[in-house]
């Protein structure tokens, strides 16, 4: 197409006419804008005449709609045409049919929305990380388990915003999955969430997707009755009551307590036992 210095159309070719449904005569001047899709018309007119008045390059994606209802997506481009003295005498431009590309984009968007809605509806946690270990997606269940706001976690590095997760085997297993590009399934207790989870890690070229479900109830039934309430505790949590106490603690050097003594050991550590003064300097057998 070709316009005058004001941006009004003076010439269009046959392909332009086929796409818009207008003839050269009906497209002249400002009349070409009637072929624009009603939802795009206002923004295209504003962008086109602003570019013409300011002598700027024009590039925009928009739609034409013919009288028979056929809609065509186009990429419109135009640049100023100048005379020998450099004065703008008009604009010359092209339109390229991009309908197939826009349809593919729309189909992909619909597919992504369907998957997103499906993941949001499940009761188990799911999140996806990119190659920088940043959240690219997580559902509401995962956000609730992490006790964080869903939008606040998006695009954030998991090990930075959830440092307590980075101290667990969970971190190493996910890194292992990415390094080997092999799916992994494992179980772990998450102290920060106070739950046992079954984790399925699925690495891919662009990162890793992690699906996990709460198996706390199952793990409790698997434990002996005397240890059912017991959960792994971090070293810092075990040290805290000892460091803050004025009493002296005595802990036998058990390399690993028998199963039936785990509960007793837990209570023994958590409650201080003062050593009588007359035992100072003696060994504890």
pLDDT score at 91 = 94
Pick the residue with more confidence: 217 or 245? 217
What is the pLDDT confidence band of residue 223, given thresholds at 50, 70 and 90?
A: confident
Cα–Cα distance measured from residue 269 to residue 241, given in angstroms and rounded to the nearest whole number:
9
SS3 223: coil
| DSSP letter assigned to residue 161 | H
Mean pLDDT of 95-102: 94
Mean pLDDT, rounded, of the chain? 80
Q: For 181-187, which contacts have Cβ atoms below 8 Å and span 24 or more sequence positions? A: 187/215, 187/219
Beta strand segments in 4-82, E: 9-11, 58-65, 71-82
SS3 32: helix
Evaluate if residue 236 carries a pLDDT over 80. no
pLDDT score at 231 = 52
Please tell me the pTM assigned to this model.
Answer: 0.50
What is the pLDDT confidence band of residue 227, given thresholds at 50, 70 and 90?
A: low
pLDDT score at 12 = 95
What is the pLDDT confidence band of residue 258, given thresholds at 50, 70 and 90?
A: very low
> CATH number of the domain at 122-220, please?
3.30.450.20
> CATH number of the domain at 2-99, please?
3.30.450.20
Pick the residue with more confidence: 234 or 253? 234
Going by C-beta distance under 8 Å and a sequence separation of 6 or more, which residues neighbour residue 23? 17
CB 34 within 8 A of CB 58: no
pLDDT score at 100 = 94
Mean pLDDT of 130-147: 91
The pLDDT tens digits for 5-38 are 989 999 999 999 999 999 999 999 999 999 999 9
Cα–Cα distance measured from residue 140 to residue 113, given in angstroms and rounded to the nearest whole number:
15
pLDDT score at 113 = 77
Mean pLDDT of 122-128: 86
What is the pLDDT confidence band of residue 61, given thresholds at 50, 70 and 90?
A: very high
Pick the residue with more confidence: 85 or 245? 85
Pick the residue with more confidence: 66 or 166? 66
Residues of the chain with pLDDT > 90, as a percent, come to 51
pLDDT score at 268 = 35
Mean pLDDT of 138-157: 90
Please name the residue that has the structure tokens 């991009």: 98
Going by C-beta distance under 8 Å and a sequence separation of 6 or more, which residues neighbour residue 143? 149, 150, 153
In the chain, CATH 3.30.450.20 covers 2-99, 122-220
Cα–Cα distance measured from residue 49 to residue 245, given in angstroms and rounded to the nearest whole number:
78
Mean pLDDT of 106-124: 76
Evaluate if residue 235 carries a pLDDT over 50. no
């Amino acid at each position: 197409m070709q316009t005058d210095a004001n941006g009004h159309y003076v010439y269009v070719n046959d392909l332009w006419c086929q796409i818009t449904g207008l003839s050269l005569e009906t497209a002249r001047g400002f009349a070409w804008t009637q072929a624009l899709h009603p939802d795009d018309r206002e923004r295209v007119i504003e962008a086109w005449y602003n570019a013409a008045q300011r002598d700027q390059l024009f590039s925009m994606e928009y739609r034409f709609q013919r009288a028979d209802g056929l809609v065509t997506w186009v990429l419109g481009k135009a640049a100023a045409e100048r005379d020998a003295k450099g004065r703008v005498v008009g604009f010359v431009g092209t339109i390229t049919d991009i309908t197939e590309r826009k349809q593919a984009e729309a189909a992909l968007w619909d597919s992504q929305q369907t998957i997103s809605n499906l993941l949001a509806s499940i009761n188990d946690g799911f999140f996806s990380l990119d190659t920088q270990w940043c959240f690219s997606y997580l559902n509401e269940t995962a956000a609730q388990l992490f006790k964080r706001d869903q939008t606040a976690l998006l695009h954030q590095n998991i090990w930075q915003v959830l440092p307590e997760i980075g101290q667990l085997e969970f971190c190493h297993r996910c890194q292992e999955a990415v390094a080997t590009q092999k799916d992994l399934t494992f179980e772990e207790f998450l102290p920060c969430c106070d739950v046992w989870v079954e984790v399925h890690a699925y690495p891919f070229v662009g990162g890793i997707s992690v699906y996990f479900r709460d198996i706390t109830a199952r793990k409790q039934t698997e434990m002996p009755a005397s240890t059912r309430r017991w959960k792994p505790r971090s070293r810092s949590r075990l040290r805290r009551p000892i460091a803050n106490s004025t009493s002296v603690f005595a802990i036998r050097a058990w390399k690993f307590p028998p199963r039936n003594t785990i509960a007793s050991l837990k209570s023994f550590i958590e409650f201080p036992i003062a050593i009588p003064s007359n035992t100072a300097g003696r060994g504890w057998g």
